[in-house]
A and B are shown apart, each in its own frame.
Chain A
Amino acid sequence: MPEQPQIARPQSDRSQSDRAMIEIKNVTRSYGAFKALDDASLTIREGEFFSLLGPSGCGKTTLLRMIAGFDNPTSGSIAVGGQPMEGIPANRRPTNMVFQSYAIFPHLNVEQNVAYGLKRLRLQGGEEKRRVEEALAQVSLTGLGKRLATELSGGQRQRVALARALVMRPKVLLLDEPLSALDKKLREQMQVELRRLQQAVGITFVLVTHDQYEALAMSDRIAVMFGGRIAQVASPKEIYQRPVNRQVADFLGGMNFVKAEIVEENAASLVVDTLGFGRVKTDKPKAFVRNGGGATLGIRPERLRVLWDNATAKFEVAGKVVERHYFGEITHLIVEIPGLEKPLSVTETNDFGADDIPVGTPIRLAYDPEALVAMGD
């Protein structure tokens, strides 16, 4: 047997202090009977890249605007840098915002836009000019200072908005769907740049987005929100692999749901019986709610692997391919398993010919029981 190359398992490189930068306590925002935000509590740490993720109308923008001071909680409190924000207007908060529309002042050029907030500070001896240059360099806009806002591309306008906020050296930078107006390629490029920029300046970033990949790619931690409530706060990996409920699991990408009977339950773990996967022992999520004697198990499509020829695995399920969809680098298989009410989705890379498996073929799938996650409904 050839010697296997040794790869050290990477440790998490995300190192920020544990000091709280933003403390949101029991914040509710009502419009008449409608609650845009319902008893939300959240702590965002100093130096963290934090994302508020959820579908439109989930309250993420409302929360961001309350941190910025454009809206006020009906009840509850918000503190930034240990200082309560109640009664402090937007223009005296240690936060700056990048608006979804970028809100570039159309009657000013790039330099004047970036210097807008500095003018009030009356900086001495060329300090203003120096800081504007520095901010423009940070967002790779050096040399475009004299351009008018109307002469800029969408990506450049976004950089101006970023520079204009960063030049104020805020404690917290708030970003309201900053990438949603860009095309796919530019968006992916900006994700990388934003993340790099955040690590360079070390400022706490709070990003609002409805794009799960954006949140997963950039954040240290994510809060997933639905209907004005915070469903889960965790690292991207935990959110993706250990969603607390079906809604979170669904929002973060494909997930196979399997019905299960609870056999044994204690504080930390569950033992359940399923028809397709047999008896499984899993960690019990904190927010787990029993649904009578039943529970839901989930497994991501890419955690199921096709077993070729006579290969065997310690844990496997057998079924039949009923549909096949080709996506270039991967193939999506729909596999019917006897006993399961819904067929399983499986994504398999095309290295071994998954794109050639004929519909109707009997197939065996390997899985890791660790990948099965119990969820509250």
Chain B
Amino acid sequence: MRARRFLSGGWLSVYAFLYVVFLYLPVIFLPIFSINTAPTPKFPLTGFTLQWYADLPHTPALLDAAWNSLKVGVSASILATVLGILAARSITRYRYPGRRTINGLIMAPLVLPEVIVAISMLLVMLQLGLSLSLFTVVLGHVLVCIPYSMTVLTSGFEGFDRSLEEASADLGESAFGTFRRVTLPMVAPAIISSLLVCFTISLDEFIIAFFLTGTEATLPIYIWGQLRFASKLPGVLALGTLLLVASFLLMTVAEILRRRAARRTQNQGGIYA
């Protein structure tokens, strides 16, 4: 009784507040210092400026890194999503022995130590005689993106009523027409969501890119390189803030689309049925 009142009487909300502060306080510092006039991140704040942001487009190395990240992110997200579609369709549509095991194995890279994955991939790439480049980074990112892609896509495909495709065929539509007019429109939000999630993961990923890239840097590697110079820190903070905002926006859009896809396929009966 007493313990319960202790928890519910305001203390629980204090705990919840501290919890959220613990999670987000470090993240908040980044944008705060990125608009501070002082070149070192220190309190008290000295004044407001957007100069660090204005400098960003005038840094050729940064633009190269951004362009590299874009290329890697787009390629990795497309590849991972295509592979994810095939696997998610198989997992949600068919029942076969080993289905759960296969699903588990596909999801496993999510919890493997990334350093170990990176080193293993490096060894494999070298064994295969591939020279390190953005291409090897793409391969590495596909590996880490597939579990995320699978999660988004299975939730979109799950409960896809097979009779919808049969109904389309029954009404005279060909296999391709059925895919174009029924299957694709229904799962499109999940696919776009998967693309966005994978792109975000790839954009932020550091360890694997660090091990597998040759001379070309992606954004996180560029940031890592800049940290050695104290004078470059404000620029890094500004860039970091932009990445943070971009990731947040992409993930929000992806989640909205994922939910829409899940509602379409799962809520067959409708709320009024």
Contact = CB atoms under 8 A, between A and B. Distances in A.
Interface of A: 68-70, 89-92, 95-97, 99-101, 103, 105-107, 116-117, 120-121, 149-154, 157, 164-165, 168
A101 B265 CA distance: 13
A164 B166 CA distance: 13
Contacts of A97: 166-167, 170
A168 to B, nearest CB: 6
B172 interface: yes
Interface residues of B, number: 26
Given A99-B166, A106-B264, A107-B185, A150 B171 contact: no
A68 B167 CA distance: 10
Interface in B162-177: 163-164, 166-174, 177
B182 interface: yes
A95 B166 CA distance: 13
B174 A91 contact: yes
B186 interface: yes
A291 to B, nearest CB: 43
A106 B183 CA distance: 11
A331 B170 CA distance: 48
Nearest to A95: B170
A92 B174 CA distance: 9
B270 A117 contact: no
Given A99-B163, A101-B268, A117 B186 contact: no
A352 B164 CA distance: 54
Contacts of A152: 270, 272-273
Contact of B186 (A96, A101, A106, A154): A106
A36 B146 CA distance: 40
B55 interface: no
Contact of A117 (B161, B171, B185): B171
B171 A96 contact: yes
Given A91-B172, A106-B270, A107-B186, 10 more contacts: A91-B169, A99-B166, A99-B167, A105-B164, A116-B171, A117-B172, A120-B177, A121-B172, A154-B273, A168-B172
Given A116-B168, A117-B173, A120-B172, A103 B163 contact: yes
A305 B29 CA distance: 91
B172 A103 contact: no
B272 A151 contact: yes
Q: Which 9 A-B pairs have the closest CB atoms?
A: A117-B171, A150-B270, A103-B167, A103-B163, A90-B169, A99-B163, A91-B169, A154-B273, A97-B170
Nearest to B265: A106
A152 B270 CA distance: 8
A149 B270 contact: yes
B40 interface: no
B173 A91 contact: yes
A164 B237 CA distance: 59
A97 B165 CA distance: 12
Contacts of B177: 120
Given A101-B161, A103-B161, A105-B164, A89 B270 contact: no
12 contacts: A90-B169, A90-B170, A91-B170, A91-B172, A91-B173, A103-B167, A106-B186, A106-B270, A121-B172, A150-B271, A152-B273, A165-B171
A105 B182 contact: yes
B267 interface: yes
Contacts of A151: 270, 272
Nearest to B170: A97
A116 B177 CA distance: 11
A164 B268 contact: no
B261 to A, nearest CB: 11
B264 A107 contact: yes
B227 to A, nearest CB: 48
Given A90-B166, A106-B186, A150 B267 contact: yes
A164 B182 CA distance: 15
A89 B268 contact: no
Interface in B115-152: none
B211 to A, nearest CB: 43
A97 B171 CA distance: 8
B164 A103 contact: yes
Nearest to B182: A105
Contacts of A92: 172
Contacts of B174: 91
A103 B265 CA distance: 11
A120 B173 contact: yes
Interface string B172-206: 11100100011001100000000000000000000
